[in-house]
């Protein structure tokens, strides 16, 4: 498996899966990214790892999902899975499959540091592939996440609920504090 990005979420997912002996490699574009990967004790991905990856997990900002997916497609093996971690984006953000299996894996948890534990939280999983659904659910189980299957036609409702469950509670508490 290749995790693209060594930020908070990419680091947390890579650490959680590596702890369960998943063969995780992290793909980054910069020297600071390489330094973060080394500081986390993770292994860098080479072009050979990208070419052999069965699953490529995009842990990049939402606006980067489409361009990074397009850049990676020619580098991935035919049949490899391309998965994003953006809660608001549909599978269409990954573009046309071009022989790839598409999916999304959105942990429903605020990650403030790559060393944050994910266990005990939920993850929204979406894909049209039975094989990839099983793989993503196994990945979730190993990371200690409860799976929420989200059909693409319900993605907007899921994301609205996710935003309200986090930000709505904070806003309500803020109003309470101000009122007191």
Q: Report the mean per-residue pLDDT for the chain.
A: 92
41: helix, strand or coil: coil
99: helix, strand or coil: coil
User: Averaged over 78-93, what is the pLDDT?
Assistant: 94
Query: DSSP letter string over 111-174?
Result: -SSTT---TTSEEEEEES-HHHHHHHHHHHHHTTPEEEE--GGGHHHHHHHHHIIIIIHHHHHH
Instruction: For residue 52, give every residue at least 6 positions away whose Cβ sits within 8 Å of its Cβ, in sequence order, or none.
Output: 77
If 0-12 CB within 10 Å is exposed, 13-18 middle and 19+ buried, where does residue 68 land?
buried
Predicted confidence band at 168 (pLDDT cuts at 50, 70, 90)? low
CA distance 83 to 56: 6
Predicted confidence band at 170 (pLDDT cuts at 50, 70, 90)? low
Per-residue pLDDT of 98-121, as tens digits, reads: 889 999 999 988 899 999 999 999
User: Averaged over 69-94, what is the pLDDT?
Assistant: 94
Question: What pLDDT, on a 0 to 100 scale, did the predictor assign at position 160?
Answer: 77
Predicted confidence band at 20 (pLDDT cuts at 50, 70, 90)? very high
Percent of residues, the chain, with pLDDT higher than 90: 78
Instruction: Report angle CA 161, 163, 169 to the nearest 5 degrees.
Output: 95
Residues of 131-164 as b/e, b for ≥16 C-beta within 10 angstroms?
Answer: ebbebbbebbeebebebbebeeeebeebbeebee
CA distance 84 to 106: 8
User: Averaged over 147-159, what is the pLDDT?
Assistant: 85
């Amino acid at each position: 498996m290749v995790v693209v990005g060594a930020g908070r979420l990419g680091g947390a997912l890579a650490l959680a899966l590596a702890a369960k002996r998943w063969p995780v490699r992290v793909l980054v574009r910069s020297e600071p990214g390489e330094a973060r990967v080394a500081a986390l004790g993770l292994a860098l991905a080479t072009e050979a790892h990208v070419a052999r990856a069965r699953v490529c997990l995009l842990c990049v900002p939402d606006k980067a999902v489409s361009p990074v997916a397009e850049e990676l497609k020619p580098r991935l093996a035919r049949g490899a899975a391309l998965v994003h971690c953006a809660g608001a984006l549909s599978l269409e953000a990954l573009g046309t499959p071009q022989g790839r299996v598409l999916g999304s894996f959105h942990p429903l948890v605020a990650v403030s540091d790559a060393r944050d534990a994910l266990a005990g939280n939920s993850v929204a999983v979406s894909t049209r592939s039975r094989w990839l659904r099983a793989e993503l659910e196994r990945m979730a189980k190993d990371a200690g996440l409860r799976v929420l299957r989200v059909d693409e036609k319900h993605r907007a409702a899921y994301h609205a609920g996710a935003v309200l469950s986090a930000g709505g509670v904070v806003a309500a508490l803020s109003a309470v504090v101000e009122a007191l």
